[in-house]
Protein backbone atom coordinates (compact mmCIF):
# COMPACT_ATOMS: atom_id res chain seq x y z
CA UNK A 1 0.00 0.00 0.00
CA UNK A 2 2.76 2.45 0.93
CA UNK A 3 4.76 1.53 -2.16
CA UNK A 4 1.82 2.46 -4.39
CA UNK A 5 1.55 5.84 -2.71
CA UNK A 6 5.27 6.47 -3.12
CA UNK A 7 5.21 5.46 -6.78
CA UNK A 8 2.21 7.74 -7.45
CA UNK A 9 3.99 10.65 -5.75
CA UNK A 10 7.12 10.01 -7.80
CA UNK A 11 5.04 9.85 -10.98
CA UNK A 12 3.35 13.17 -10.15
CA UNK A 13 6.72 14.82 -9.46
CA UNK A 14 8.19 13.50 -12.72
CA UNK A 15 5.20 14.68 -14.76
CA UNK A 16 5.35 18.10 -13.07
CA UNK A 17 9.07 18.38 -13.81
CA UNK A 18 8.54 17.48 -17.48
CA UNK A 19 5.74 20.03 -17.85
CA UNK A 20 7.80 22.69 -16.14
CA UNK A 21 10.76 22.00 -18.42
CA UNK A 22 8.59 22.13 -21.54
CA UNK A 23 6.73 25.30 -20.62
CA UNK A 24 9.65 27.17 -19.15
CA UNK A 25 11.60 29.69 -21.19
CA UNK A 26 14.74 29.12 -19.13
CA UNK A 27 17.79 29.29 -21.38
CA UNK A 28 15.82 30.69 -24.28
CA UNK A 29 18.14 33.28 -25.77
CA UNK A 30 16.68 36.10 -27.79
CA UNK A 31 18.76 37.49 -30.63
CA UNK A 32 18.76 40.98 -32.11
CA UNK A 33 20.59 41.02 -35.42
CA UNK A 34 22.63 44.17 -35.99
CA UNK A 35 24.17 43.65 -39.39
CA UNK A 36 26.43 41.45 -41.45
CA UNK A 37 29.48 39.85 -39.88
CA UNK A 38 31.64 41.14 -42.72
CA UNK A 39 30.78 44.69 -41.58
CA UNK A 40 31.32 43.84 -37.88
CA UNK A 41 34.57 41.86 -37.71
CA UNK A 42 34.27 41.12 -33.97
CA UNK A 43 30.57 40.45 -33.47
CA UNK A 44 30.81 39.47 -29.78
CA UNK A 45 32.84 42.54 -28.78
CA UNK A 46 30.55 44.87 -30.74
CA UNK A 47 27.46 43.46 -29.03
CA UNK A 48 29.04 43.74 -25.59
CA UNK A 49 29.97 47.35 -26.37
CA UNK A 50 26.31 48.06 -27.18
CA UNK A 51 25.17 46.61 -23.83
CA UNK A 52 24.16 43.09 -24.83
CA UNK A 53 25.35 39.88 -23.16
CA UNK A 54 27.32 38.89 -26.22
CA UNK A 55 26.92 38.10 -29.87
CA UNK A 56 27.65 35.62 -32.60
CA UNK A 57 27.27 35.13 -36.31
CA UNK A 58 24.13 33.15 -37.13
CA UNK A 59 22.82 31.34 -40.15
CA UNK A 60 22.14 31.50 -43.00
CA UNK A 61 25.78 31.03 -43.88
CA UNK A 62 26.80 32.57 -40.53
CA UNK A 63 26.72 36.02 -42.11
CA UNK A 64 24.50 37.94 -39.66
CA UNK A 65 25.85 39.34 -36.39
CA UNK A 66 23.12 38.79 -33.80
CA UNK A 67 23.38 40.04 -30.21
CA UNK A 68 22.06 38.08 -27.24
CA UNK A 69 19.63 40.00 -25.03
For the chain, which residues make up each domain, given as ranges? 2-68
Q: What percent of the chain has pLDDT over 70?
A: 68
Instruction: Identify the band that residue 51 occupies on the pLDDT scale cut at 50, 70 and 90.
Output: very high
Dump pLDDT digits (tens) for 52-68.
999 999 887 788 999 99
- Per-residue pLDDT at 8: 73
Beta-carbon contacts of 45 under 8 Å, excluding residues fewer than 6 positions away, are none
DSSP state of 17: H
Phi, psi for 34 (deg, rounded to 5): -105, -25
Nearest to 54 by CA among 62, 64, 65: 65
Amino acid sequence: MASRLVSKCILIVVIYAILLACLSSFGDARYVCQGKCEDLPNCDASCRQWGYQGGRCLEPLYQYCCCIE
